[in-house]
Chain A
Amino acid sequence: MSAILKVSNATMQFGGLVAVDDVSVVQREGEILSLIGPNGAGKTTFFNLLTGVYKPTKGQILFLDEDITNLKPYERVEKGISRTFQNIRLFSELTTLENLLVAHPDCNREGLIESIFGRSKLIAKRSKVVEDCENILEMIGLKDQELELATNLPYGKQRLLEIGRALATNPRLVLLDEPGAGMNGLEKEELSSLIINITKKLNKNILLIEHDMKFVMSISDRIIVFDHGVKIAEGLPEEIQNNQQVIEAYLGRGITDDEE
């Protein structure tokens, strides 16, 4: 399998704080890769490096063998990387459907002349955009609420809508930052089947951050563990579950130290 994403020796420093320390990660085509680690381990910062919100202090990011280290966030979306946010950042005054429309490349790259003088061709293009977006809504189960303002959706649905919006950009790789946060058991089950659907049916790659271990273990093909900005482990779910270093990172070194 070829690599879709290849991060080499990425380091992110904020003043004296090293949030991400010399991390190298490879994601293979077609896999669901998960990023776990205690709070403050640098997972979201790592996402921000991938999406271009921050520029790494050192290191290189290859996406589909192309160096994207210096691209801006919107340029990376064009290349095929999209994301969701840990703290939901929907366009709250737009409707559910509109949140997807604005993410659709054919909508947000409309030209000025076209928008003023466009006729039937433009209408056809816009119809196609609506159709695409409604298909995504169908998939994430929000078709019935497509005219609701995003801000009026319940929390769990807002999370789903963020995923839908990320999909509307027509990405190759979707980064999900704690997609299950604040969801109940049933919603999480639906979420995991949705994520699997996205990879299998839509043929997209998923990289996700999640705290719920049961969820992560059941859904991931491979897991990477961060602690204090350093990648401390990488492997299949069962390998990670039994990794002594990972257990220490989560439980704290103090306990094991005492037992020595």
Chain B
Amino acid sequence: MKIKLTKPVLAVVFALLLALPLVTTNNYVLHIFISMGIYVILSLSLNFVTGFAGQLSLGHAAFYGIGSYVGALIMLNFHVNFFLALIISAVVSGLFGFLLGLPTLRLKGDYLAIVTLGFGEIVRLVFINWAKVTRGPLGLPGIPKPTVFGVELNTSMAFYYMAIVMIIVTVVIMNKIINSGIGMAMQTVKADEIAAESVGIQPIKYKMLAFVISSAFAGIAGCFYASFISYISPTTFIYNTSVTILAMVVLGGLGSIPGSIVGAVILTLAPELLRFLSNYRMLIFGALMVVMMIYRPQGFWGAGKRVKNIYKIKAGGGKHVGHIKG
């Protein structure tokens, strides 16, 4: 069974999401939805590099963490406006992605996975040990909320709507890139680097682009999280977080935007709904990942086939009418 993402379906979902804060005043519910939104951005961004460019990154939490700490520190110490902080966090996280990608992405093989894993560990150690700046394990409290024209946006409702806007912007940008020449080049690099080079595509350029964009979006999620939760500590940005994000991407379906969203939604809800399973949750994730790779590598949502590309061409015999429209 597969739900078609037709316009009416999307419109209904969107309307329900918009109406949610009017229906419930329960902060707990909104809180879960906002966390879900943060994870949606994290899984979308990881999917961008792993699902589309085929590069497994296991240090996504590190970029999330860098964005969080950079955002928190500049808001706390230099009173930088939240929205500017979002951008700076993205740039700094992206820059770290670039620096880490330089030595690793030009290599063939599985080095990126290991190096990002190691990087995640180093970043965590820096958060813990660089106490002068990060306050070490104590974490950073009192991170300010966004203000717009002097009005502080400190309600859950405000964060909820901001999260929705951020997700929409993320999805739109990613969709544009994926359905462009860049996206197609990324796909060829994922499929066969030698063949890609033979048609003039420079693999490292696209791997790097994907990795940097992915890191930057994780940074944005981090900064947003810092302001929302107002207290951050190193314990959030650990290996387990990276793995959870990866599980969202994999279970939702590698290389599928709706898949990443569904994966994030389900795996954020799962611990809330399945508290009785708490100890077995990660165990089940692990087993599911194996089963998934064997029987259904395209994920639950499974964008088994791309529906269209930049040229709005349907694969597999569908008719493409005239040339491109918009």
Contacts and interface: CB of A to CB of B under 8 A. Distances in A.
Interface of A: 51, 53, 72-74, 77-78, 82-83, 85, 89-95, 97-98, 101-103, 105-110, 112, 115-116, 123, 126-127, 130-131, 147-149, 165-166, 168-169
A73 B313 CA distance: 29
Given A98-B313, A126-B324, A127-B323, A83 B198 contact: yes
A108 B324 contact: no
A74 B200 contact: yes
Given A93-B191, A112-B182, A115-B177, 18 more contacts: A73-B198, A74-B196, A77-B200, A83-B198, A85-B195, A89-B198, A91-B195, A94-B184, A95-B315, A101-B184, A102-B199, A105-B200, A109-B200, A116-B176, A116-B177, A130-B311, A130-B323, A169-B200
A94 B324 CA distance: 18
Interface in B48-92: none
Contacts of A72: 197, 202
A170 B187 CA distance: 21
Interface string B195-224: 111111110000001000000000000000
B202 A74 contact: yes
Contacts of A91: 187-188, 191-192, 195
B171 interface: no
Contacts of B324: 123, 126-127, 130
A97 B197 contact: no
A142 to B, nearest CB: 14
B206 to A, nearest CB: 9
A108 B317 contact: no
Contacts of B181: 101-102, 106-110, 115
A102 B317 contact: no
Given A105-B200, A110-B180, A92 B310 contact: no
Contacts of A110: 180-182
Contacts of B183: 115
A168 B319 CA distance: 23
10 contacts: A72-B202, A77-B197, A83-B198, A98-B184, A105-B200, A112-B182, A115-B183, A123-B324, A123-B326, A147-B314
Given A116-B177, A126-B311, A94 B187 contact: yes
